[in-house]
Every structure is written in structure tokens, then in C-alpha cells.
Amino acid sequence: MRRLFRGAFIVWIVLRYGLDELVLTSFQKPWLHVLARIVSVGRNLGAPRGQRLREALERLGPIFVKFGQVLSTRRDLMPVDIADELARLQDRVPPFPSDVAVAIIERAFGKPVGEVFSSFDRAPIASASIAQVHFAKLVDRDGKERDVAVKVLRPGMLGAIDKDLALMRMMAGWVEGLSGDGKRLKPREVVAEFDKYLHDELDLVREASSAAQLRRNMAGLDLVLIPEMYWDFCTTDVIVMERMHGIPISQVARLREAGVDIPKLARDGVTLFFTQVFRDGFFHADMHPGNIQVSVDPATFGRYISLDFGIVGTLTEIDKEYLAQNFTAFFRRDYKRVAELHIESGWVPAGTRVDELESAIRAVCEPYFDRPLKEISLGLVLMRLFQTSRRFQVEIQPQLVLLQKTLLNIEGLGRDLDPDLDLWNSARPFLEKWMIEQVGPQKLLNQLKDQAPRYATLLPELPRLLHDFLKQRPGNQQRQLEELLAEQKRTNRLLQALIYGGIGFALGLLAMQLVVRVRVF
């Protein structure tokens, strides 16, 4: 019954704000324009279409706001007036009352807000779908006053999100049961992934821990700044972090006036994304312009500033390996290898013909190589890839949904910063370096370091294990001892072979690296 009422409310909002008329007028058919005028009779639809769409998404709740945030980064797909209005959803959603925010803070810390902060700005500096942010000053343990940002969770979020997720699960069941693509699209699994990330976003302690992890991962990269979390003041409803000072990345004119190298900033964004995805397997997955600034402080000039870590994506080593190999083969235009990887990974049926899949992938991707971003629409590429995936029954990978969303955000940001950016050549150096690290001796050394603690604890146990083994059959000790001595001799010979083989392997790797450096890409 709750899902029924929620569905009725969504339909009412669609009609109330004239979204049906908005959809009909977006088509070129004259009869659809006539139908749009008919359905708008008796309704006050005088407000601009972008404003109506934004207000409707705000009324529908956080899930729809997040959908609008993604659309706002796709100016290649959205008319300018709609994209400008949807950009307001990034950090200018109507705030909830400051008195409510203060009450949440005081309940979280168990004391008046004046005892927690030496000063507190009651007017929020930013307000989004899940939380809003206030600036304040905090006196730390050393008695030093620090500028901080206080993030406060919106009240009632859990109930609102659960209603929409219940509706999405019901619709996913319909798609799975009624659509011929239901099994391949895995709608239930996709909704389950979405459910997990949204509920994680409602726990601000989890967000703070994700920020701390990203801060450690990015240390030394000199490309991005991530605020420090003040753990004495972090709860599930409120977190306090270092206040960051920068220019919003959407204000490109201000960045140019400040002397920021915009093309370099765009290239650094590509490097930052690939580093988080392939090196760490842990990436910021909500990279819309409202969450990104650029530092103009002399000590950190031109670096990115990342904010809002409620949604982060993770990849397993298997996912990273397959994705990296796919990207590498793609950048080399080795479409046969891309097709083989899809079959090897099980993403397409085992009986798929490699040559047919290779030809289909080539037809989608080849027209977009060596072109700047202004001549590429990744949205269009993904649409054509989706058509190809349907033909070859490619299974949707729910664990990669966040990565696909982030890719769309990254491309949208890159298009706004530097339309002449060559995405392929910018990504090439990173992937080349990553490939060498994966097949080189450093990878072997890293694996040995990872296993060293295990072997260090196992070696002292060997004498006891040997003693227990000999005690099991006292009558056969002599024979067992002889067998052990013979096994030791075989082990020594094997060890010698491994040492010599290892030396040869290392030399081979060095030779291979030389070949890779010369021939890759």
C-alpha cells in the first residue's frame, strides 16, 4: 500500500510540474507538440521548463535529486537552460531550518552548540540531498582555534529513501519478469547495489572513514587535497572536518583569472581518476561539480579539493585486472583482445564468436579515436555499446554501476574544463606505467611482502609439526626419517632450480619491460 501511495505521489508530481508536457515537447514530431498543448490545458506551466524539472526532483526526494545531479554534468545531452537549473541540485537544494540543524548537533554531542564551537554560522554554506554544511570555529585539544565545516544529516532521510527503494525493487521485479532482457540486465542486483550505497551515505561516520582512507591513498600524489576529519566530533548524524578554501570547479572563468592552468587541471583529473580506480581500487564516486573545488593557496596552487565522500566505489583485484586489460586493449585499438576479455570474464556467453564481437566493438569505438572531448559524446558511445551488449547478451555487472556513473561525471567535468582535451592520450601514460608495474619485478616483490607475515609465523611452527608427525607412528620413525631426508634432498634441488629460474625470470621481465616501453601504444 505504501508503494502504491508513493507511485501515485510521483505521478501527481509529474503532472503538477508538467513533466509529461516537457517530455512530449522534446520530440520533433508535430503531432507530439499538439498533444503536449492538449495535456497542458488547465495547468499553470508558466515557469521555465528547467525550473519545473528541478523543483519536481527536489519534491520527489534524495534519489531523484541524485539523478538530477548526474544529468547536470551532461551538458552534451541536456539543453543549456535545463543543465543550468539542474546544476543547482549539486549544492543549492533548499536547506532545512537552522534550528533543526542546531538541535541535531546538540543531541549528537550532548551539549549546547556554543560549548562545542567558539562560533557557528547558522546559515548553511551548502545544502544537498542528504545533508547540509555549516561553517564554524573549533578550539582543539591544544587550544588552537581551527576553521571547520560541520556536516549535518537531513532529518527523515531513512524513511524517504526506503520508500523509493521499495518502489524500485518492485519495478525491478517487473522488469526481470516481463522483459526479455531481465536476466541480462540484473535489475534486482543493480537496485541492491544502489540500496547499499545509499544506506552507507546515511552513516556519516562511514563517510568520514572513507575520507580518511582516500586522504591516505592520495598522500604524496600532489594532485588533490582531502579534508582532515576531527574524530572527537564525528557521529552518525554530524561530522566535523577541516574547512577547505578553494574555487568551485564549475567557475572556470574565476579559475582562469586566478592563473590556474586549465588544460593541466583537466589532465590531472584524468590521472587522479585512473589512480584511484586502478592503483587503489577505491574511488570517489560522487564527483559532480558541487563536490570539487580547486585550491588557489600558493602552497597548494592548482590542486583539486575533493568534498563529500558519502559514496565511494571499490573494485576487487579481479575487476581491476579485467578493466585495466580492457582499457589497455581499447587504447591500442586491439578490439579482438577486448572481445576475448569479455568472453574470458564470463560477461558474454562462452559460445560467442570472437570475430563477430570484435567487429561490433570496432564499429562503436573506432569513430571516436584521436578526437578531442568536444567531438565525443561518451553518453552516445555508451548508448551504442548498450545496443551491442543487448545483441551479444552481455551481462550487466552491478559492481561496476558506480564506476560507469563516475566515468560520466568525469567526462562531463573534462568537457567543461577543456573541450580540446584528448582523453585517450591523457590516459595512456598512466596505463602504460600501470602495465609495467603489473608485469614487472616490483609486482613480485609486493606479493612477497604481502605473504611474508604469514610465512614468518609458520616457520617457527615447523619443528613442532615435525615432532608431532614422527610421534604419530613410532614404529615407522626410521623409515619416515629416511623419507624426510630424501624429500629434503629433492627440496634442495628444487630450491636451486627455483633460484636459477627466478634469476632467468627476472632477466626476462627486464627484457620484457624494455620491449613494452618501446612498443606499447
The verdict on 273 and 373 lying in the same domain is yes
Q: Is residue 311 part of a domain?
A: yes
| Domain total in the chain | 4
The verdict on 378 and 508 lying in the same domain is no
Three-state secondary structure readout of 449-482: HHHHHHHHHHHHHHHHHHHHHHHHCHHHHHHHHH
Identify whether the C-beta of residue 421 lies closer than 8 Å to the C-beta of residue 411. no
pLDDT at 224: 95
Last residue of a domain, one of 385, 405, 439: 439
Q: Is residue 94 exposed (0-12), middle (13-18) or buried (19+ Cβ within 10 Å)?
A: exposed
| Dihedral sign for Cα atoms in the order 168, 170, 173, 179 | negative
The verdict on 41 and 71 lying in the same domain is yes
The verdict on 255 and 386 lying in the same domain is yes
Which pTM value belongs to this model? 0.69
Q: Tens place of pLDDT for every residue, the chain, 521 residues?
A: 666 777 777 777 777 777 766 665 655 556 555 555 555 555 666 788 888 888 888 888 777 777 777 666 655 556 778 878 877 776 678 889 999 999 999 999 999 999 999 999 999 998 887 889 999 999 877 778 899 999 999 998 777 777 777 777 776 676 666 555 555 556 677 677 667 767 777 889 999 999 999 999 999 888 999 999 999 999 999 999 999 999 999 899 999 999 999 999 988 988 888 888 888 889 998 887 888 999 999 999 999 999 989 888 888 877 777 777 777 777 778 888 888 887 777 777 777 888 888 888 888 778 776 666 666 655 556 556 655 666 676 665 655 667 777 777 777 777 778 877 776 677 777 776 776 666 556 566 666 666 667 666 666 666 666 666 666 655 555 565 566 556 556 555 555 554 555 555 445 545 555 544 444 44
Q: How far apart are CA 124 and CA 113, in angstroms?
A: 15
Q: Is residue 433 part of a domain?
A: yes
pLDDT at 409: 74
The verdict on 300 and 422 lying in the same domain is yes
In terms of DSSP H, where are the helices of 332-400? 335-344, 354-365, 378-391
- Establish whether 420 is a catalytic residue: no
The verdict on 406 and 469 lying in the same domain is no
Those residues whose C-beta lies under 8 Å from the C-beta of residue 350, and which sit 6 or more positions away, are: 343
Q: How far apart are CA 207 and CA 223, in angstroms?
A: 21
Q: State the residue range of the domain holding 448.
A: 441-519
Q: Is residue 120 part of a domain?
A: no
Adjacency order of strands within the sheet including 304-306: 224-225, 304-306, 292-294, 247-248
Last residue of a domain, one of 60, 88, 116: 88
pLDDT at 399: 58
Q: Is residue 131 part of a domain?
A: no
Instruction: Name the active-site residue from 91, 237, 268, 286.
Output: 286
How many CA atoms, within 13 angstroms, populate the side-chain half-sphere of residue 284? 29
Q: Is residue 102 part of a domain?
A: no
The verdict on 303 and 396 lying in the same domain is yes
The verdict on 69 and 173 lying in the same domain is no
**Neighbouring C-beta atoms of residue 326, cutoff 10 Å:** 16
In terms of DSSP H, where are the helices of 136-229? 157-178, 182-185, 187-201, 204-218
Helix (H) or strand (E) holding 246: none
Q: Is residue 353 part of a domain?
A: yes
Identify whether the C-beta of residue 419 lies closer than 8 Å to the C-beta of residue 376. no
Cell numbers 564516486 correspond to what residue? Answer: 285
Last residue of a domain, one of 405, 439, 473: 439
Q: Is residue 342 part of a domain?
A: yes
The verdict on 327 and 470 lying in the same domain is no
**Which pairing describes strands 229-234 and 131-139: parallel, antiparallel, or unpaired?**
unpaired
The verdict on 434 and 447 lying in the same domain is no
Q: Is residue 343 part of a domain?
A: yes
The verdict on 423 and 377 lying in the same domain is yes
The verdict on 428 and 454 lying in the same domain is no
Q: How far apart are CA 27 and CA 288, in angstroms?
A: 28
Three-state secondary structure readout of 304-345: EEECCCCCEEECCHHHHHHHHHHHHHHHCCCHHHHHHHHHHC
Q: Which amino acid is at 225?
A: L
Q: How far apart are CA 38 and CA 15, in angstroms?
A: 13
Distances (CA, A) of 400 to 30, 55, 67: 40, 30, 17
